Amino acid sequence: MSTATADQIEEVKVPKKEREPLFSKKNRELITDPLDDSNPITVQVLGICSALAVTTQVKPAFVMSICVIFVCAFANLIISLLRNGIPSRIRMIVQLVVIATLVTLVAEFLKAYQYSLSKELSVYIGLIITNCIVMGRLEAFAMANKPWPSLLDGIGNGIGYGAILIFVAVFREFLGSGSLFGFQIIPDWMYGIGYANNGIMLTPAAAMFLIGVFIWWQRARNQKLVDIS
């Protein structure tokens, strides 16, 4: 039996696997899908409590949105980095510790630089720790995916959550107080001719009504969402 020489051995070239672009179509969908097809509030029905509580004015709703985006994005990133070293039986404890650390940073930052807003948002900043959106993304996505997609997923779901908060807050503040971002929009002279702010818009029931209207509009426009949940 003859031994093959080096010249007779066909060189096999292993094709190099192309690196996925940072903002490939798949990665872009992690940010865009939570704005519509998988919105955490209107499709997944998560985070409803804060949507009812902090949307009487746009400013606190905007700040709350930024806080959730920060916590959700960096919690996803950290858990994704640690996922292979987290024992399954304590994974939720580790997730809570990461979220609580980030929420504490956010709370202390607000107390230092926006104390009045910190008092206005009160316990709702602390309740980000138990926000179903944050915990849900850690369990459903970050524990099974690489850091970069996990970061984008956290950002996307935070933005999807914040978009609904701001949508509701714009209507509630404008119709309920006649202002936006604290600035009076409806002039004083209109009150002299019989105009009155709609006080019901400042109640949690109004927020639920507005979210319901948005869900109806969203499903009427996007039929594939009709049978979801």
pLDDT at 129 over 60: yes
pLDDT at 19 over 80: no
Predicted local distance difference test score (pLDDT) of residue 1: 47
pLDDT digits over 151-176, tens only? 999 999 999 999 999 999 999 999 99
Residue 148 placed within a domain? yes
In the three-class reduction of DSSP (H, G, I as helix; E, B as strand; rest coil), residue 179 is classed as strand
Percent of the chain with pLDDT over 90: 50
Task: State both tokens at 77.
Answer: 């990133």
Please state the φ and ψ torsions of residue 180, each to the nearest 5 degrees: -140, 130
Residue 27 placed within a domain? no
In terms of residue numbers, what domain contains 52?
38-218
Residue 225 placed within a domain? no
Highest mean pLDDT among 13-17, 54-58, 70-74, 125-129: 70-74
Residue 53 placed within a domain? yes
pLDDT at 3 over 60: no
Q: In this predicted model, which residue has the larger pLDDT, 48 or 169?
A: 169
Predicted local distance difference test score (pLDDT) of residue 9: 45
Residue 28 placed within a domain? no
CA dihedral 157, 158, 164, 165 (to 10 degrees): 160
**Tally of structural domains, the chain:** 1
Angle among Cα 214, 40, 151 to the nearest 5 degrees reads 135
The answer to whether 200 touches 189, Cβ cutoff 8 Å, is no
- DSSP calls for 62-125: HHHHHHHHHHHHHHHHHHHHHGGGS-GGGHHHHHHHHHHHHHHHHHHHHHHH-HHHHHHHTHHH
Q: What predicted TM-score, i.e. pTM, was given to this entire model?
A: 0.85
Please list, in sequence order, all residues whose beta carbon lies within 8 angstroms of the beta carbon of residue 109, skipping any fewer than 6 positions away.
Answer: none
Residue 194 placed within a domain? yes
